[in-house]
């Protein structure tokens, strides 16, 4: 029997439809790789969230900057949805970091959650960016430098 897959449609119906030929069934699950988020996606999402917070951006602001919904930005940060290479490049540009930034620490991370110190640093960055008075921000920055130099 001739191959009818490339036959031109006649009066709106393909030859396959006119002859009532059923398409061959294939195992779609076996043919396609699973596109679920994994530990690497969660790590990348966590790094995006950390950088966003360091810059003082809300999830909504971030979503607007990269042209997605708030919900989608949230899913990226939680590692629920995978991020395409093009989108990750765009996020890196918006956040002012190289794409490799999002993968830093991956080799040392074995599914570990944020440490107490990392959480404290994120909270400090979030609180610092919410201070509206620049003089207060500068004073706090000077205090941190002085404390750090003491060891």
Residue-wise pLDDT for 26-47, tens only, equals 555 455 455 556 889 999 999 9
For helices 85-95 and 39-54, the axis angle rounded to 10 degrees is 20
Q: Is the pLDDT of residue 18 over 90?
A: no
Q: Token pair of 66, please? A: 């990269």
**Cα angle vertex 68, ends 67, 72, to 5°?**
160
β partners of residue 10? 13
Residues in the chain, total? 151
**Cα angle vertex 90, ends 46, 117, to 5°?**
20
Specify which of 7-21, 74-88, 107-121 reaches the highest per-range mean pLDDT: 74-88
The CATH code that applies to domain 39-111+130-150 is 1.10.260.40
Q: Is the pLDDT of residue 57 over 90?
A: yes
* Cα atoms in the Cβ-side hemisphere of radius 13 Å centred on 68: 20
- Please write the tens of the pLDDT for every residue from 66-93: 999 999 999 999 999 999 999 999 999 9
pLDDT interval class at 20 (50, 70, 90): low
């Amino acid at each position: 029997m001739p191959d009818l897959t490339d036959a031109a449609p006649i009066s709106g119906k393909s030859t396959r439809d006119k002859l009532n030929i059923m398409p061959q069934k294939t195992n779609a699950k076996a043919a396609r790789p699973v596109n679920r988020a994994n530990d690497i996606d969660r790590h990348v999402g966590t790094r995006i969230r950390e950088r966003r917070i360091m810059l003082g951006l809300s999830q909504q602001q971030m979503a607007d900057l990269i042209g997605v919904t708030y919900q989608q930005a949230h899913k990226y940060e939680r590692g629920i949805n995978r991020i395409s290479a093009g989108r990750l490049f765009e996020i890196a540009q918006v956040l002012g970091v190289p794409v490799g930034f999002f993968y830093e620490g991956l080799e040392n991370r074995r599914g570990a959650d944020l440490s107490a110190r990392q959480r404290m640093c994120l909270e400090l960055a979030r609180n610092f960016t919410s201070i509206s008075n620049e003089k207060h921000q500068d004073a706090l920055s000077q205090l941190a430098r002085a404390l750090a130099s003491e060891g």
